[in-house]
Structure 1
Amino acid sequence: MINNYMKKLIVACVATIAFIGLQNNTAEAITQSPVVKEVNLQQLGQQNGLNIYNIEKVNIRPDERLDIEETIQNPIQPKVVAKPTAKTDKETPKIKKEKPAVTLSKKEKDLFARLVEAEAKGESYKGKVAVATVVLNRVDSPEFPDSVTGVIKQVVGDAYAFSPVQNGEINKPASAESKRAVEDALSREDRLNNSIYFYNPEIAEDEWIRTRTVVKTIGNHVFAK
C-alpha cells in the first residue's frame, strides 16, 4: 500500500492536472502543493479524453490509481496523415493525337492532290503545300464555294478558275509528294495569312491579279490576298 505521508496534496484547481508531450508519448499529472490523496485514473482519463482501459493496459495499472508525481505512458499515438504525392518532372503527360482540321473523303483528297500536282509541278514541297493552303483558304472564305471539290471545279465567267481543270492536266495522277502536301496543308498550321490567290508573275496575263496584296513568294509563285 502506498504511504499516504509520501503523497502530495491535490490543489483545489483540478485544471492544473494535464497531459503534456503527446509527441513523446508521455503524459504527466502536475501539481504544485503537497497532497494526501491519490488520483483516480478514470477521472484523469475523462478529463483528458483518454480511454481508461488503454491507460491501464499500457501502464499496467489495474488499481485505477496513480500517485500525483508519477509519470504514466500516454496510450494515444499521434495520427500520421499521408501527404499527397507531388507530381514530378518524370511523369509523362498524355499526348492527344491531333486530327486534321478539315476532313475529306478519299476521292476528294485524290482530286485535291491531282490539282496540287498540276499547279505546282516542279515546285518545292513547300510550294506544293502553299498551293493546297490557298484552296483551303478559299473554302473558308465567303467569296468562294464551301467545299474543296466546289472550289476546284468553280467556274468563273466561261472558264474554270484553275487552268489544269480547263486543260485536263488535273486528270493525271498525283505524285506521293503532292499527296503528302495535301495532308500537311489540312493541319492548317500555316494559313499563309489567309491568301486566296497565287500566280506565276512570269506568265500571268490577268492584270487584275497583280493588283492583289502580296503575302509571300515561294519558288515561281506569288501568294496574295
Structure 2
Amino acid sequence: MRKLNKIILTGALSLTLLAVPTAVGASSYTVQQGESFHSIANEHGISLVNLQIANQRSGSQVIAGETIKIPDSVSREDRELMAKLVHAEAKGEPYEGKVAVATVILNQVDSNDFPDTVKSVIYQKVNGHYAFSPVKNGAINGGYTEEDMRAVNEAIAFRGQGNGSLYFYNPDKVSSDWVQSREATVKIGDHLFAK
C-alpha cells in the first residue's frame, strides 16, 4: 500500500509540476520568505547535508520562491545499517562504488520485487540464504567510516536518479549464471552493477 501511495503521489507531483522534474524518492518544495536550507531540513526531518547534496549546493542560503528538491528521509538507524553494509561490501572500493552499493539498497526498497524497508532489504533471505554475504558472515556487525556514511547520504540525496541497478557482484568471485545474466549497468572498481 505504501508503494502504491508513493507511486500515485509521485505521478500527481509530476503532472502538477511539469516544469520541475521530480525524481523518485524526492519532492519539490517552494522556498518561503525567511527560510534557509537549515530550517527546511529541520522542517522536513532530513539532514542538512542530504538537502544540500540533493540540490547541488554547499551553502545554507536559498531565495524565497526558489524551487528545491526534498529527498526522502531515512532514519538514522537505517542510514547506520546501510553504512555498515557499504563498509562490509565495498571496503577498498572507490567512493563511487560505495555510493552505488548504497543506491542498490534504496533501489531495492523502491522496487516492487523486494521488501520495502532498508532493514528488510538488508536482512532478506533468498532461497533460505541471506542476499548479502556480510549479513551471513557477520561482517555487517562491524563499524563504518565517515566516508561510508557520506556515500549513504549521497545515495539518499540522489535517490531515484541513478541507472536503476538492483544488484552488484564481483565477477571474479561469483559464478552464478543467474546474476551474470542480468543486464549490466556500470562497472566500478571490482563490482559490476546490474538490473
TM-score range for the pair, normalised by the shorter chain length: 0.5 to 0.7
Are residue 223 (structure 1) and residue 193 (structure 2) matched? Answer: yes
Residue 146, structure 1, aligned to residue 116, structure 2: yes
Instruction: Please list, as runs of the form range in 1=range in 2, the aligned pairs for 1:2-151 lying within 5 A after superposition.
Output: 93-94=63-64, 95=66, 98-99=69-70, 101-151=71-121
**How far apart are residue 103 of structure 1 and its match?**
1.3
Match of 1:42 in 2: none
Q: CA RMSD in A?
A: 1.7
SS of aligned partner of 2:163: helix
Instruction: Tell me what 2:163 maps to.
Output: 193
Distance 1:140-1:189 versus aligned 2 partners, 3 A rule: closer
Q: What SS does structure 2 have at the residue aligned with 1:117?
A: helix
Quote how far apart the aligned CAs of 1:203 are: 0.4
CA distance in 1, matches of 2:105, 2:117: 9
Q: Which of 143, 152, 157 does residue 182 from structure 1 map onto?
A: 152
* Counterpart residue number, 1:5: none
Higher helix share: 2
Assess if the C-alpha contact under 8 Å between 2:106 and 2:159 holds in 1: no
Counterpart position of 1:157: 127
Aligned to 2:139: 169
Cα distance in structure 2, aligned partners of 1:182 and 1:197: 16
Question: C-alpha distance in 1, partners of 2:97/2:160?
Answer: 12
Contact 1:137–1:191 (Cα < 8 Å) also in 2: no
CA change 1:197–1:191 in 2 (3 A) is farther
Tell me, in whole angstroms, the C-alpha distance in 1 between the residues paired with 2:160 and 2:93. Answer: 18
Name the counterpart of 1:38. none
Q: Which has the larger radius of gyration?
A: 1
Match 1:205 to one of 175, 184, 191: 175
CA distance in 2, matches of 1:190, 1:218: 19
Residues of 1 paired with 2:161 and 2:89: CA distance? Answer: 18
Residue 205 of structure 1: how far off its partner (Å): 2.3
Deviations 1:159-212 (A, max 9, x none): 111000000000001111000000000012664321101110010121210000
In the alignment of these two chains, the number of paired residues is 133
Alignment identity in percent? 47
Ranked by relative contact order (alpha carbons within 8 Å, sequence separation 6 or more), the top structure is 2
Where structure 2 has 5 or more consecutive residues not aligned to the other structure, the ranges are 1-61
Alpha-carbon deviation of 1:213? Answer: 0.5
Counterpart CA distance in 1 for 2:183 and 2:158 is: 21
